[in-house]
Structure 1
Amino acid sequence: MRWRKGKGIKIAALLPILLLTSFCPDLFSVFERNIVLPGWRPEHASLRFLVISDLHLRAGNIGDLKYSAMVQAVNRIRPDFIFLLGDTFGFEQHHTIHELNEAFVKLFSQMEAKHGIYAVMGNHEFFSGLDASRAVLENAGITVLEDRLEVPRVNGYPLLIYGLKERSPKERFTPPEILELLRELPSPLILSHRPDPFLELPSGKSFLMLAGHTHGGLFRLPFLKGGIFRFYKSEVCAKYTYGHFQENAKQLLVTSGMGDSSYYTRINVPYEMILLTIRPENPVRAAQPVPE
């Protein structure tokens, strides 16, 4: 009898969490993260990066209250950069991504980011059509990075942003030539849809990789480490399900994202955007901007 009573108390304690996180799809939070990255320029320490992943936009949800509220939140924050980490569109738009063009452009044209919006694509874009997805993103003024380096000049100094291309599951996440290029870059920001490429990066080099894809595990329960990914052959996603990780010099930040994937629910995994600031290991007085 005591066992049943104790079990009942535990279930009752879990119910508010389940109700709040499973049946309130329009609620989301903005979580602040402050990461120290060796080699990061002090001139870039004041920059604010807004990280958004896994929106999974489709005809049936792009007009939802959550996304108009997202735009309002973004414009209150006034970030310097916005990073979209893939699965911006849902697989339900297979071969019909173009139908979202007008609504997507209208939504994202309202967002303000001082130095622009950068995006990588994910597995849902891969299966729904990379070319069509890229076209819609670019029509909204978003810079799409597919194995591509962008070097905007900010506060007089270059900022290195590298976006990894989404590949077939049969391919390596980061081919040897890409790894060689990344080894030569001083403390770059690496945008990736999945956390998997983190394993392939050299551990002795200072990197910060930003990733999504995992949805925070979708079902986050005390006895289920790694969430739903525990049931899949994805040891990487089960290990790097959510949060900040560091292995020697390289670092990884995984967000739970803003959307629902094909399961259309979450348990104890709030929707989120991350407001990220990055600071150098040994803060020094910033140099005077170099004339452009």
Structure 2
Amino acid sequence: MTLRVARYAVAPRRDVAVPRMRIAILADLHACAPLVNEARVKRIVDQVQGLEADMICLLGDYVGHSWGMRPLTPPEVVPHLARLTAPLGVHAIMGNHDWKDDPVARRGRAAETFWHRALTAVGLPPLSNVARVLEAGGVPFTLAGLESQRAYGRRIGGADVEAALQGCDPGLFTILLAHEPDAFADLPDHVDLTLSGHTHGGQIRFAGRPWMVPSRFGVRYAYGHLSEGTRQLVVSSGIGTSGPPIRLFCPPELTVAEVG
């Protein structure tokens, strides 16, 4: 089954040089059998590659913990993600379920999990509170990534916005990858675009209202393309599920942000 693709046009809201590019977003794979088994992971990766994006962003929660499902292991998931290629690279961050899958690392508040190490081993080292400068069409831009805000528990995270943006040039167009969209509320004005997942768009919707949104802001950042001042946020509904293995009126999706 081919996933729907949600597409958003992102026009700059600051007077900075803007890199024109297409970003493919894969969020909340939540790989667990039989719902998102290895064969489906392979098909999803093939569809992402077929979007012909300039850059691919993987927004965490590679593993799933839905009721009655078996979480897939890194060897069942990561080699498929490693097949992804894009001219401006494939960039990953981590989600709370990736930490949940490694209880030893979570309890000890370690710097990484075995999912971090598996991704690094195939050339996809997660952006954990760090930034890098890339270039698209001769225009430099900043790409930063946050660690999960729920890495060690619902109220204990590893995200450090100050560390992630340390030394970043505010004169460059800046993109931030943040698994949980709650980070968006307190970002500085020079973070032009934030890409997030985590909410599943509510996962279950009635009368257009999302019913399952793990956010301290309620439904404020549940889904879609939002803006506050000069800053913009795109929240993907992602692929999988958490808790009940169902989606109602909120289908899984891949997301594309067209910047420029």
Which TM-score bucket, shorter chain as reference?
Answer: 0.7 to 0.9
Aligned partner of 2:202 in structure 1 is 217
Residue 253 (structure 1) aligned with residue 228 (structure 2): no
Q: Please, what is the CA RMSD of the aligned residues?
A: 2.8
Whole-Å separation in 1 of the counterparts to 2:161 and 2:120: 28
Percent identity between the aligned chains?
A: 26
Residue 127 (structure 1) aligned with residue 103 (structure 2): no
Q: Residue 208 of structure 1: CA displacement?
A: 0.8
Residue 34 (structure 1) aligned with residue 9 (structure 2): yes
Q: Residue 171 of structure 1: CA displacement?
A: 4.1
Q: Residue 81 of structure 1: CA displacement?
A: 1.1
Letter aligned with residue 221 of structure 1: F
Contact 2:223-2:237 within 8 A present in 1 as well: yes
- Cα 1:31–1:251 change in 2 (3 A) is same
Contact 1:120-1:164 within 8 A present in 2 as well: yes
1:12-31 to structure 2, matched below 5 A, reads 26-31=1-6
Q: Residue 265 of structure 1: CA displacement?
A: 0.5
Contact 1:255-1:274 within 8 A present in 2 as well: yes
- Matched residue SS, 2:9: strand
Aligned partner of 2:76 in structure 1 is 103
Residue 189 (structure 1) aligned with residue 175 (structure 2): yes
Cα distance per residue 1:20-58 (max 9 Å; x no partner): xxxxxx45211221111234534x21x211011000123
Query: If each structure's helix is expressed as a fraction of its own residues, which one has the higher value?
Result: 1
Residue 55 (structure 1) aligned with residue 41 (structure 2): no
Contact 2:130-2:163 within 8 A present in 1 as well: no
In the comparison of the two structures, how many residue pairs are matched?
A: 243
Q: Residue 145 of structure 1: CA displacement?
A: 0.4
Whole-Å separation in 2 of the counterparts to 1:257 and 1:66: 14
Q: Which one of 130, 137, 146 corresponds to residue 148 of structure 1? A: 130
Q: Residue 159 of structure 1: CA displacement?
A: 2.4
Residue 226 (structure 1) aligned with residue 200 (structure 2): no
Cα distance per residue 1:141-178 (max 9 Å; x no partner): 21310101022233334221100111444347755734
Letter aligned with residue 195 of structure 2: L
Whole-Å separation in 2 of the counterparts to 1:118 and 1:131: 17
Whole-Å separation in 1 of the counterparts to 2:41 and 2:16: 33
Aligned partner of 1:161 in structure 2 is 143
Query: If each structure's strand is expressed as a fraction of its own residues, which one has the higher value?
Result: 2
- Cα 1:225–1:63 change in 2 (3 A) is closer
Contact 2:192-2:230 within 8 A present in 1 as well: yes
> Rg larger in 1 or in 2?
1
Cα distance per residue 1:232-270 (max 9 Å; x no partner): 6x3424211101111111111111001122221100111
TM-score w.r.t. the length of structure 2 is 0.81
- Matched residue SS, 1:261: coil
